[in-house]
A and B are shown apart, each in its own frame.
Chain A
Amino acid sequence: MSRRIEAAFLKAKGEGRAALIPYITAGYPDLARLSGLVRALSQAGADVIEIGIPFSDPLADGPVLQRAATEALRQGVRIRDIMAAVREVASGSPPLVFLTYINPVFRAGMGAFAHAARESGVEALIIPDLPWVEGTDLRRAASAEEMTIIPLVAPTSTPQHLWAIRRARGFVYGVSVTGVTGMRQDVDDGARAMVARVKHVVPLPVALGFGISTPDQAREVGGWADGVIVGSALVKAIAEDPGNAEAVAFGMVSAFRQKMAAPSRTTPPAFVGGSQK
């Protein structure tokens, strides 16, 4: 179930770099662009791709991702259509994960949602408003559908929480700051200590998200974390030139990927339309 995700982290590690995980909001700029965007990210060298399911009340998100979700919902995007679009593109892509708030999952039924996501080719779910202690039922239902639930860790997390997630699968999503998603000038000093604290207890790769907005930041973080998640910066770039969303996404993620590559092994990024492997 999470084997493809774990393999993607291992492959990056084998190449002497951190895994790159770009995030896009499904249905933004519009749903017809989703498959093209996933292909562009894949060609730019993404190791895992995070696809956000827009929600009416995204309380863990900053202004950029709020606006993208609001716009997608204004266009009437439906979850079954998102799943159908993902299914079209999943087989040729790096491992895909959904980011969704808990209510759409709860509404569909935990097992039914996990089943539908699995059918569309998604490997794992990230649910920012479902804390681990409230997620027992969902994890049971998800595991029956071979769906992985990704644990989150924050700078405020207790040792008990780290202990509780030690048998999780896939990777650990490290929240770099106390705050919501969005671009920040600097990566918090505490984040590095947090990653070390997690790795001491949990035998999984740790990817850091929330606030990484430049290739330089990604390179720095990639020096001590196993993965780097880039969300708001990418969605903002797309929002500034939605007509060229795929080219913008390709360009930006290629730049991140190039900067993150180990100095001795820098390779030029693949071209749009070319094949990744």
Chain B
Amino acid sequence: MATMKPVPDRTGRFGPFGGRYVPETLMPAVAELDQAYRRVRRDRAFHQEFRALLKDYVGRPTPLRRADRVSEQVGFDVYLKREDLNHTGAHKINNTVGQILLARRMGKQRIIAETGAGQHGVATATAAALFGLKAEIYMGEEDVKRQALNVYRMRLLGAEVHPVTSGTATLKDATNEAIRDWVTNVRTTFYVIGSVVGPHPYPMMVRDFQSVIGREARRQIVDVAGGLPTHIVAAVGGGSNSMGIFYPFRNDPVALVGIEAAGEGVPSGRHAATITVAEPGILHGSLSYLLQDDDGQILPAHSISAGLDYPGVGPEHAYLHQTGRAQYHAIRDDEALSAFHRLAEWEGIIPALESAHAVAWVIKSKEALRALGARVLINLSGRGDKDVEAVARYEEVTHVPAH
């Protein structure tokens, strides 16, 4: 396989995607962040501090193990990278620890973040607490209602949660509000973005911080399985867990498979399958694919998984799609739910609904994968405890049988 050209370029472009589409007020801040990040990227002391925290605070490396009963059921080897075993229960903390270390280096005392379901908000509040910094988290009012427990968690961790009532009162509106805060308090504030989205350098920086997943996994699977996987499968909302595991394998002969949320089905219009639709647009600082109408107004996304419920996607995913280096598929709510149950029963692991989308695609594609003699690595990005209540409620309402 040909080696991919390093992306992004100096201006933050992944092919045509990416860039820095922010108000002029923020341009110097974005440039300052870019410089600061480029400095720490070459700074051995920064990496030592980051690695030590990932090991002793986050609990890395996370295990990678063959899922024996899943493998038996589908008829080929399936391995799980256990990001659910990180402190706070998901991969999000890898990135927040990295960004907050950078914020300290830059002398920024005030931390802000957006959150959808609350996972990134909790991870930001956690990393901020670790360093005695104050975090303020923007969260759509709809999500505040649906995720009351995560709101309480953030408050326990000393963060202030600002409910956002504008627009659709969900993640995209929380992101708008966080950007408004950043524009207003740009001189003192560090904005911790939770995915591989936003203006340059965020997509690159978040990818780099999350790449620890793929670096570990590459080492581990060679040890455990004696070679590389044929397929790596991961869920894609904004795309940070998938980019984190894909990136270190980009020059390997490995199929990279991103799984989006088809919600109630792509034809229903109630979905979050941004790359499946593949319409270019500009939102929240970068050019990528977007859910939008003919006038370029942003459409609300839908998924049973709040973490995938976003109308955009990281620009590097758009690039991987456009170049054909990664393939993207979409999984419906009901398929993800079914996989949620399967993994719990077969492996004793309750996955996050996000990760259940990746598991669902592997189960759904088992004939084709078996015929290929596949060895599949799934990124299990988070644990499902946060989703248990919502799933129970959903199944009560829709009378979906548990099996």
Which A residues are within 8 Å of any B CB, using their own CB? Answer: 55-60, 62-63, 66, 70, 73, 78-79, 102-108, 128-134, 152-158, 161, 175, 177-180
Set of chain A residues within 8 Å of B27, measured between Cβ atoms: 131, 133, 156-158, 161
Contact of A57 among B20, B183, B283 (CB under 8 A): B283
Asked whether A161 lies within 8 Å of B24 as measured between CB atoms, the reply is yes
Contact call A155/B297, Cβ cutoff below 8 A: no
Contacts of A130 in B (CB 8 A): 21
Say whether B24 contacts A103, CB under 8 Å: no
Rounded to whole Å, the gap between the CB of B270 and the closest CB of chain A is: 17
How many residues does chain B have at the interface if contact means C-beta atoms less than 8 Å apart? 38
Choose among A60, A106, A154, A175 the residue that contacts B282 (Cβ–Cβ < 8 A): A106
In the complex, B326 has a CB within 8 A of chain A? no
Distance from A232 Cβ to chain B, minimum over Cβ atoms (Å): 14
Give the chain A neighbours of B20 by CB distance below 8 A.
Answer: 131, 133-134
Q: How far is the CA of A150 from the CA of B297 in the complex (A)?
A: 22
**Pair B297/A56 contact, Cβ less than 8 Å:** yes
Contacting residues of chain B (1-45) with chain A, CB-CB under 8 angstroms: 11, 19-29, 31
In the complex, chain B residues 148-193 whose Cβ is within 8 Å of any chain A Cβ: 166-167, 172-173, 176, 179-180, 183-187
Determine how close the nearest CB of chain B comes to the CB of A250; give it in whole angstroms: 30
| Shortest distance from the beta carbon of A102 to any chain B beta carbon, whole Å | 5
CA distance A105 to B172 in the complex (A): 20
Measured CB to CB, the residues of B under 8 A from A are 11, 19-29, 31, 166-167, 172-173, 176, 179-180, 183-187, 280-284, 287, 290, 292, 294-298
Contact across chains for A57 and B186 when beta carbons are under 8 A apart: no
A-B contact pairs, 13 of them (CB 8 A): A56-B167, A56-B298, A57-B298, A60-B183, A66-B166, A66-B167, A103-B283, A107-B295, A128-B23, A131-B27, A133-B27, A156-B27, A179-B25
Instruction: Kindly identify which residue among B186, B292, B296 contacts A178, using a CB–CB cutoff of 8 Å.
Output: B186
Cross-chain contact A108 with B29 (CB below 8 angstroms): no
User: Is the beta-carbon distance between B25 and A175 smaller than 8 angstroms?
Assistant: yes
CA distance A107 to B287 in the complex (A): 11
Q: How far is the CA of A130 from the CA of B26 in the complex (A)?
A: 11
Are A158's CB and B298's CB within 8 A?
no
Using known A-B contacts A70-B167, A129-B22, A156-B29, determine if residue A107 contacts B176 with beta carbons closer than 8 Å.
Answer: no
Please measure, in the bound complex, the distance between the C-alpha atom of A12 and the C-alpha atom of B161, giving whole angstroms. 48
Check if B24 sits within 8 Å of A175, measured CB to CB: yes
Check A180 against B183 for contact (C-beta < 8 Å). yes
The CA-CA distance from A155 to B186 in the complex, in Å, is: 11
B113 to chain A, nearest CB (A): 16
Contact A132 B295 (CB under 8 A): no
Chain B residues whose C-beta falls within 8 Å of the C-beta of A134 in the assembled complex: 19-21
Q: How far is the CA of A241 from the CA of B284 in the complex (A)?
A: 34
Q: Which listed residue (A106, A108, A179) contacts B184, Cβ 8 A?
A: A179
A31 to chain B, nearest CB (A): 14
